[in-house]
């Protein structure tokens, strides 16, 4: 079983992500939403259902070095939703 403690929700690093200001919301409301999020996550995983919205990411090019006009000088990064990051960290511990 997963445990999405309020401490885990509070340490979310705020990045520019597809979800906008949800990171701030998760931090501010972590004491109130950690228990329901844990229950929803455990039910979802026990039934083998992973929410479609958590499967998406925003892909952005990140410049490495060299000429900016050369496409091979870029690497792609994936911006994930905050909740999918929290769920992934909870599953790995």
Across the strands, what pairs with 76? 61
45 inside domain: yes
User: Domain for residue 63, yes or no?
Assistant: no
8-40 pLDDT tens trace: 555 555 455 555 566 677 777 777 877 887 887
Asked if 38 and 3 count as a contact pair (C-beta separation under 8 A), the reply is yes
The whole-number pLDDT of residue 66 equals: 95
Q: Which is more confidently placed, 61 or 92? A: 61
- Average pLDDT for residues 50-55, to the nearest whole number? 78
Whether residue 49 lies inside any domain: the answer is yes
Q: What are phi and psi of 36, to 5 degrees?
A: -60, -40
Q: What is the mean pLDDT of residues 59-71?
A: 94
Q: What is the mean pLDDT of the chain?
A: 75
pTM: 0.53
- Domain contains 68: no
pLDDT higher than threshold 60 for residue 46: yes
Residue 1 domain flag: no
Number of domains in the chain: 1
Residue 46 lies in a domain: yes
> Residue 21 domain-assigned?
yes
Instruction: Tell me which residue range forms the domain holding 39.
Output: 6-55+82-92
pLDDT band at 1 (very low <50, low <70, confident <90, very high): low
- Is 65 a member of any domain? no
């Amino acid at each position: 079983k997963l445990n999405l403690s309020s401490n885990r929700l509070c340490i979310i690093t705020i990045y520019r992500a597809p979800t906008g200001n949800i990171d701030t919301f998760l931090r501010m409301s972590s004491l109130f939403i950690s228990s329901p999020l844990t229950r929803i996550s455990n039910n979802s995983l026990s039934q083998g259902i992973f929410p479609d919205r958590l499967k998406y990411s925003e892909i952005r090019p990140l410049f490495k070095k060299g000429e900016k006009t050369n496409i091979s000088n870029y690497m792609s990064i994936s911006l994930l939703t905050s909740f999918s990051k929290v769920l992934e960290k909870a599953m790995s511990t």
